[in-house]
Amino acid sequence: MGRIALVVDDSMLIRHTVCRFLEERGFIVEAATNPVEALETLGSVNPDIIITDMQMPKMSGSEFITALKAKPETSAIPIVILAGRQSGFSETEKRANYAIFKDIDIESQLQIALSTALGEHVPQ
Determine the pLDDT at residue 122: 63
Residues 29-51, mean pLDDT to the nearest whole number = 95
Domain residue limits, the chain: 4-118
Residues 11-40, mean pLDDT to the nearest whole number = 94
The C-alpha atoms of residue 57 and residue 64 are separated, in whole angstroms, by: 11
Q: What's the pTM?
A: 0.86
Q: What residues have CB less than 8 Å from 7, skipping those under 6 apart? A: 15, 18, 19, 22, 29, 30, 31, 32, 50, 51, 52
Does the structural domain 4-118 have CATH classification 3.30.450.20?
A: no
